[in-house]
Amino acid sequence: MELYKYSDRIYYSAYEEERDRPALGYIRGEKFSVAIDAGHSDDHLNEFYEELKKHDLPLPSLTVITHWHWDHSFAMHAINGLSVANKRTNEHLLEFIAERSPEHDKEFLALDPSIAKEYINGKEIVVIPADIVFEDELDIDTGDLKIRCFTAVSPHTDDATLIYVPEERVVFFGDALSGVFPTWIADKGKTEEFIKAIDALQVDKCIGGHWPIYNKEDLLYELRTRE
């Protein structure tokens, strides 16, 4: 796994299609650091932590989850520090936990080949709810940086959190640009709402889970011209 430097205080990892591992984000704060998304499993997370250590970056004290999907949240049990999610994300996680059974786990592994690859050789699936739950928005002050986490309408899921760092002119948006898994059909109205949310931010770059880093204008163009 590679770790990319956006600025002295913002980093993000490579994403991987094979095991559907999203890019994980990192914000280095003066008092503490914050990660964006936990990852697909503890294997994914630990590779990310190894990269942070190689770059002399402290492990995150907080990990903010962009949405409940397994590839972003199922490593929450193994994070350093505490996890943060919006209320809807946490409800989805609690629903998944309540539905769990050997049969349900089998169905989960069969959802997509990338999931079976992540959980190869009977690797245990561990799902836990978030430590800290917020509604609508949450401001985090790392001492030298202000981070604004807020919920947004997205065509991907009903629980998107955007993580906005105004001073660094960057936003992390998870998978919020996508349509719904697994058809990838994107509701036009929800896409419009998401466009408005991104357009309103004073950012140059937008970092998502499964794409190269976007210029804001390119992301907006792609969304506006999507069939």
Nearer to Zn ion, 16 or 175 (CB): 175
Nearer to Zn ion, 139 or 222 (CB): 222
Spatial contact of 88 and 70, defined as CB atoms under 8 Å apart: no
User: Smallest distance from the beta carbon of 38 to Zn ion, in angstroms?
Assistant: 13
Spatial contact of 72 and 79, defined as CB atoms under 8 Å apart: no
Q: Which residue stretches of the chain are H helix?
A: 42-54, 70-73, 87-99, 102-110, 113-118, 188-199, 216-224
Nearer to Zn ion, 168 or 175 (CB): 175
Residues 6+ apart with CB under 8 A from 113: none
User: Smallest distance from the beta carbon of 195 to Zn ion, in angstroms?
Assistant: 18
User: Smallest distance from the beta carbon of 69 to Zn ion, in angstroms?
Assistant: 3
Nearer to Zn ion, 22 or 29 (CB): 22
User: Smallest distance from the beta carbon of 166 to Zn ion, in angstroms?
Assistant: 25
Rounded Cα distance between 45 and 30, Å, is: 23
User: Smallest distance from the beta carbon of 54 to Zn ion, in angstroms?
Assistant: 28
Peptide bond into 182 cis (omega under 30): yes
DSSP 121: G
Nearer to Zn ion, 33 or 83 (CB): 83
Applying CB under 5 A, the residues found at the interface with Zn ion are: 69, 175
